[in-house]
């Protein structure tokens, strides 16, 4: 399994790796937002967190796909 992940990672170009790390960074921001919301509401509200996660991750996914399309078209690869 790890070998497969390593192979896929190594097959990626630099800009694709950058896009992947950007995706991870934004996903980590969502974790911070969920923690903040839980502190503000003083309780873990499953419905609110699920709804927020769905909207946030959908927007992020669409954003990353748009960025990927744009980079593929305009980026000069090394």
Cβ 77 vs Cβ 15: under 8 Å: yes
> By CB under 8 A, is residue 19 in contact with another protein?
yes
On the 0-12 / 13-18 / 19+ scale of CB atoms within 10 A, 78 is exposed
> By CB under 8 A, is residue 35 in contact with another protein?
no
> By CB under 8 A, is residue 29 in contact with another protein?
yes
Cβ 24 vs Cβ 61: under 8 Å: no
Structure tokens at 77: 């690869």
Q: Which of 3, 28, 40, 47 binds another protein (CB under 8 A)?
A: 28
CB of 75 to another protein, least distance (A): 6
Q: Which of 13, 50, 58, 59 binds another protein (CB under 8 A)?
A: 13
């Amino acid at each position: 399994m790890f070998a497969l992940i390593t192979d896929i990672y190594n097959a990626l170009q630099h800009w694709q790796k950058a896009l992947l790390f950007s995706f991870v960074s934004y996903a980590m921001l969502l974790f911070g937002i969920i923690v903040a919301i839980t502190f503000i509401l003083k309780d873990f509200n499953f419905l609110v967190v699920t709804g927020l996660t769905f909207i946030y991750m959908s927007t992020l996914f669409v954003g990353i796909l748009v960025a990927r399309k744009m980079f593929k078209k305009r980026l000069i690869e090394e």
